[in-house]
Amino acid sequence: MVKMQEPKKRKLKLSRVLLAMGAIIATLSGADTLRRSFASQQPYNLTINGTFRDSVTLEEAPTGSSLSLGTTDEITTAFEGVKYLGYSEYELSENDISEGVLAVYTENAPAKSDYSKAMVDLSEKKNEFYTLVDEDVELNEDAAEALNSMMEDYANQTALADFIVYGTTDTFTGENSYCPESFSESKAGYCVDLALNAYGSVLSYDGYDTEGWIVENCWKYGFIVRYPENKKNKTGHDYCPWHLRYVGEMHAAIMAKKEMCLEEYVEFLRQYTFEEPYDLTFNDKKYQIYSVTKDDEKFKTRVPISGNYEITGDNKEAFFITALKTD
């Protein structure tokens, strides 16, 4: 009888297992490398404007009535060092230097007669705390909102609603007018000329008595008395309490604190640049204001990539940017 031998049991060597695993890893790695190589050749069209940042919701700065200028065709650059984090290059058009809440208009450099940016029909937007000289009165949208707030607070403080908006973009100054002078800046849509309704008759507004509340408090709503007392050497005009100009709450507050007229304030801001801005805190938020002047025939600067900034021209030689600080 022939004995059948049992088959030998083969032992699985550890070295062979490791060798097989290494081969599998190498194969998978090669495939992944090939996949990445193909992916890197896909056509991307990316424009990086400023720096990367976490996706957070920033609180918007007040809109005011400053310009919102469009970007140029020039590609913006990424940041250059830590001090430019959060900012991108921006070029402004010289054609827009005559527009904005801080533009200084004169007879030699008047506001555009066809300027109608963000204008509203005041007869449709007004509240019940003041009246209009007629139904055909237009005003900048932000200025109209501020006017409503101011007149409501005036009525609450004095129990009066006796103001008449006698003119905005066009004010009657002929015979029997209650506003003795009109101004070229009114065409821009930021101005309000006031008179008083006194028991059915109209009176000129002189800024005194109970109605003097407007002169004293208009800055809180973004308005200034465009030609204030004791500033004729700067403005070229006598005191005109009835002629208000909207510049936005922040600018009006600074001007009131520093007792500056518009001409002085604009001159004050021109000294500040992107590199050395004017820093301030307004309503518990931090801001910077800086000017942009022409360099190599262009107005180049940097603006926050967050979009929290406003631009206004001075109608002469500079732009001013008010930016909510990003740090």
Domains of the chain: 58-102+260-327 (3.30.200.180), 103-246 (3.30.1380.10)
Identify the band that residue 115 occupies on the pLDDT scale cut at 50, 70 and 90. Answer: low
Q: How far apart are CA 75 and CA 152, in angstroms?
A: 47
Q: Look at residue 17 and tell me whether its pLDDT is greater than 70.
A: no
Q: Look at residue 199 and tell me whether its pLDDT is greater than 90.
A: no
Q: How far apart are CA 298 and CA 293, in angstroms?
A: 8
Mean pLDDT, all residues of the chain: 80
Q: What is the pLDDT of residue 116?
A: 54
Q: How many helices (H) and strands (E) does the chain have?
A: 7, 14
Q: What is the mean pLDDT of residues 142-157?
A: 98
Q: What is the mean pLDDT of residues 142-148?
A: 98
pLDDT in tens, 58-107: 233 333 333 333 223 333 344 455 668 889 999 999 999 999 999 999 98
For residue 280, the cross-strand partners are 287
Specify the pTM.
0.75
Q: Look at residue 113 and tell me whether its pLDDT is greater than 70.
A: no
Q: What is the mean pLDDT of residues 205-210?
A: 96
Q: What is the mean pLDDT of residues 239-261?
A: 98
Q: What is the pLDDT of residue 242?
A: 97
Q: Look at residue 2 and tell me whether its pLDDT is greater than 60.
A: no
List Cβ neighbours of 174 (8 Å cut-off, separation of 6 or more): none
